Structure 1
Amino acid sequence: MSAVLLLPLVAVPSAHATADAQKNAQGKAQGRAQFAVTTTATNVAARSDRRPVAGGVYDSEVGRTFISWAGQYEDSYVQSYDHRRSTWSAPNRVADGDADSHNYPTMVQAKDGHLLVFRGMHNVELRMSRSPQAHSADGVWEETLISKNAATYPMPFVTRDGTIYVFFRETSGDLDPTVPTDTRPMLYVVSKDNGKTWKTSTELTGDRFAIGSTSRADNMNEIYIGQLRLEDTGRVRIVYTLAGGGPEGHKHDRYHRNIYYASFDPRTLHFFSAAGKDLGTQIDDADQERYLKVAETPLTLPNNVKSPDYIQLVGTTLGRPFLLWFSGDDAGGPLHDHLSTWNGRAWETREVARGLRVRDMEEIDPFTWRVYATEDGLPNVNTYLVRFGRTWDAETVIPTAKPVQRVEVVENFRDPARAIFSGASSQRDVAIADGDITVAGLSRR
């Protein structure tokens, strides 16, 4: 079992580099892309644990972009942008978040045109809200209980034929008190009728779970998917890390460890390694350790951050996957930002920056991706370019009035509504909602 290989692609700033120095370095690259920003709602965003999956969609049939976000008490809100009139709607509260930062909205559009918002009510159940009209976010949304599988972290996507998948994590101990608290596998549900009826992955495959383990010696049996991405090819790319009690016994989310990659084929319900190994319909611990491990990280407790963090990003260049992820420093230093690339035979991992939280990314062309990143406690969103899954270059700085906590690139985006920036609330308490919702897109020249 080898340790993570760290080979710098570019010069990495020292631990004492100032934010101003970093900004100046980025400023030299400005001009490659100019962004326009619009604050669509002020002092409304609560702290949210949302992952960079399914934040919004562009509907070409009506020329509107629909976005979702978590407001006070983690209630779900939606807004729409009319590209023909260049106007934003007022926020529409569509569902109750039950005052838990895990209960954030994720949104997709069904084939029949209706918008669907999913919430995993933390460790309880998976719920869906459906817009009353197709191609519109207006009105009172209808709520449906999909599953009582102690669900958290819904990650939905819609395939080309209109089949809807929602991956979620199950807190198994809430269903069976004899199961340790750090046993939390991934499952999914599927609908082929625009969200009217659903089947679980267990019903479809006979497997207890889709990704997970139950008996690791280090008690790291919790799966944290950082991001999943549906490609035009129909393949879904997945990056995740493990959590659990570690050597201290069964404790929820005490430690994080390692980075793993897999892909999923919705047509066959099979998972695959980067090398193309067919793992069948379930990933267990033996599979992930033998075929899916990208980087091994130490089982330690860095200061004030889980390591690796909850968010990791996944993309592909010419069919080969690459990952972006960041880890903490147990000495109290800056975050370490890593780029892991599949070279066709093995994973290569390099540190490319420090002090950044990578938030989401978008494909610019077959060779280039734009990465959105933030710095703790500072306003603005910084962008970087990753080429061929290997090089890392500063691009520009997108100004925001306040610090940003979450970024989600809109599905099939159309400027100026390309990416959603959810502002960082001043308090962890979701009763306090004073972050801004800002949308950014390339400006017209």
Structure 2
Amino acid sequence: MKRRTVLTTGGLLAGGALASAFTSEGARAATGKPVFQLMTPAATVAARTDRRPVAGGVHDPVVGRTFISWGGQYENGFVQAYDHRSRTWSEPLQVTDGENDSHNYPTLVQARDGHLLLIVGMHNSGTVVARSARPHSIDGPWQVRTVAEGAAASYPMPFRARSGEIFVFFRETTKTIDPAVPSDTRPMLYLRSRDHGRTWESSAAITGAPYALGSTDRTDNLNEIYIGQLRYDPGGHGLPERAHLVWTLAGGGPSQHLHDYFHKDIHHAAFDPRTLRFHGPGGRGLGVQLTDDEQEHECKVAVTPLVRPADLKSPDYIQLVGTTANGRPFTVWSAADGTGLWHVYVSRRLAGRWYTTEVASGLRTREMEPVAGDVWRVYTTRDGEPGIATYLLVPGRSWRPEATIATAKPVQRIELIAGFRDPARVLVTGASSARDVSIADGDIHVAGLTWR
């Protein structure tokens, strides 16, 4: 297809070829053919889920096991373990109750003491944290409790910082706490634990700011934050530790208060877990609370129209974020046109400006991972069709097909497994046949790479 530049806050991207500075996997990507192996730990068990591509699983090198989490019938939270030595999967273990809501998906992170933490935002209600009975294991009765500091929470995004502290970003539905607040006021806060998930503090208590990111008084009522992805980068090699965030705004629009009616614009910022401060795409410090003025003037990546093309909310709920080898951020995101066709855009930061280019159409971007240098692998699906297609991306330079992963049924979500070890690289949640989460007939897959 012809490439064109649209919806940009900068100008045209330069063309070019794939970068040549590849590590071993990058070299194989350039000279060999990647082949994905697909395992199915659990069949016909997955419900519809609104999960973001964050914290689907972790690899634990201490015991040589990979742990995954997924939402089953009623969106109940399940975990499973893969033993890399015996190449076998455990039976699914239910840990949490999803209360029949597709938003109540589980996320998984491992504390420094080896205990696994399953974290669920109970959609406008509370935050549930389950801690495994034993370190490095899913066995035994998990300790499950509601964390009062995470009130009115949806969409948890956990990560473990270099310090061992655990952070969980979540969106607050403020109307749950104060019924007088409009339904489309939904800023972001976070939780922090310094004792491996036993106790928690809220960002409001830590910093004194009522929220960490967002707004409450926009004239267009776009006071809802939809973070598409949080990507934790431990830093090193001269680059700082950061959690990169990409998001779009939502709300009723200028004439009404309605939840999630419009979506608009793409934004990026980075969070420093050491200082608790946000940073703009150019590295400028923005303090412990990221305000609407800073969203508009420091963090805006691309401008999109305030319309509902073919009655779709656009941009898409999932946006992806990464950085190049020199630490410059880029985002991959999708927006629909007037016919309802999805288009994929790549926005990169260069010389203090954002440049956005369309790279594909008809695809939904689900997840991505760094391959080598500035090369990233992007996982995509097509609505209603089985299978996954991967592409190799060098932001601002190239986008080319790489491999396909065959699945018997369509796929709804893909999450990179933290610290993955092949053949357990990505968690793939198959689409259920119904929106009603009492029906759970999607497949749970895990895919990994081999080479020819």
Fold agreement, TM-score > 0.5? yes
| Contact 1:314-1:324 within 8 A present in 2 as well | yes
In the other structure, the counterpart of 1:102 is: 103
**Corresponding position: 1:291 with 2:293:** no
| Contact 1:30-1:397 within 8 A present in 2 as well | no
Superposition pairs of residues 7-46 of structure 1, within 5 angstroms:
32-46=33-47
In the other structure, the counterpart of 2:158 is: 156
| 2-structure distance, mates of 1:3, 1:285 | 21
Q: Write the letter of the residue equivalent to 1:72.
A: Q
2:332 aligned to 324, 331, 352, which one?
Answer: 324
**Corresponding position: 1:422 with 2:429:** yes
In the other structure, the counterpart of 2:170 is: 168
In the other structure, the counterpart of 1:279 is: 286
**Corresponding position: 1:384 with 2:415:** no
Q: Write the letter of the residue equivalent to 2:207.
A: T
SS in 2 for 1:392: strand
| Contact 2:32-2:451 within 8 A present in 1 as well | no
| Contact 1:74-1:98 within 8 A present in 2 as well | yes
Q: Percent identity?
A: 56
| 2-structure distance, mates of 1:78, 1:304 | 36
In the other structure, the counterpart of 1:81 is: 82
Q: Which runs of 4+ in 1 moved over 3 A?
A: 5-10
Instruction: List alignment gaps of at least 5 residues for structure 2.
Output: 1-5, 16-29, 236-240
In the other structure, the counterpart of 2:121 is: 120
In the other structure, the counterpart of 1:56 is: 57
Indicate the RMSD between aligned Cα atoms, in angstroms.
1.6
Which stretch has the larger CA shift, 299-308 or 99-108?
299-308
**Per-residue CA distance 1:370-427 (angstroms, 9 max, x = gap):** 0101000111110001125542111111111110000001000000000011000010
| 2-structure distance, mates of 1:304, 1:72 | 29
In the other structure, the counterpart of 2:416 is: 409
| Contact 1:320-1:344 within 8 A present in 2 as well | no
SS in 1 for 2:104: coil
**Per-residue CA distance 1:257-298 (angstroms, 9 max, x = gap):** 000000000010000111111110011110110110000100
Q: How many residues of Structure 1 are paired with residues of Structure 2 in the alignment?
A: 425
Q: Write the letter of the residue equivalent to 1:158.
A: R
Deviation for aligned residue 1:334: 1.4
| Contact 1:322-1:389 within 8 A present in 2 as well | no
Instruction: List alignment gaps of at least 5 residues for structure 1.
Output: 11-28
In the other structure, the counterpart of 1:397 is: 404
Q: Write the letter of the residue equivalent to 1:159.
A: A
**Per-residue CA distance 1:132-185 (angstroms, 9 max, x = gap):** 111011222110211352000000000122100000000001111111110000
Deviation for aligned residue 1:9: 7.8
SS in 1 for 2:297: helix
| 2-structure distance, mates of 1:404, 1:410 | 17
In the other structure, the counterpart of 1:360 is: 367
SS in 1 for 2:339: coil
| Contact 2:388-2:407 within 8 A present in 1 as well | yes
SS in 2 for 1:303: helix
Q: Write the letter of the residue equivalent to 2:219.
A: A
| 2-structure distance, mates of 1:178, 1:159 | 36
| Contact 1:368-1:385 within 8 A present in 2 as well | yes
In the other structure, the counterpart of 1:207 is: 209
In the other structure, the counterpart of 1:24 is: none
| Contact 1:115-1:131 within 8 A present in 2 as well | yes
TM-score (norm 1): 0.93
| Contact 1:119-1:154 within 8 A present in 2 as well | yes
SS in 2 for 1:247: coil
In the other structure, the counterpart of 2:20 is: none
| Contact 1:8-1:352 within 8 A present in 2 as well | no
In the other structure, the counterpart of 1:129 is: 130
Deviation for aligned residue 1:367: 1.8
Go from structure 1 to structure 2 and tell me whether the alpha carbon gap of 1:381 and 1:3 turns closer, same or farther (over 3 Å shift): closer
Go from structure 1 to structure 2 and tell me whether the alpha carbon gap of 1:376 and 1:158 turns closer, same or farther (over 3 Å shift): same
Superposition pairs of residues 133-282 of structure 1, within 5 angstroms:
133-147=134-148, 148-233=150-235, 234-282=241-289
1:347 aligned to 327, 346, 354, which one?
Answer: 354
Q: Write the letter of the residue equivalent to 2:83.
A: D
**Per-residue CA distance 1:175-219 (angstroms, 9 max, x = gap):** 111111100000001000001111110111110100010111110
Deviation for aligned residue 1:4: 2.4
Deviation for aligned residue 1:7: 5.2
In the other structure, the counterpart of 2:25 is: none
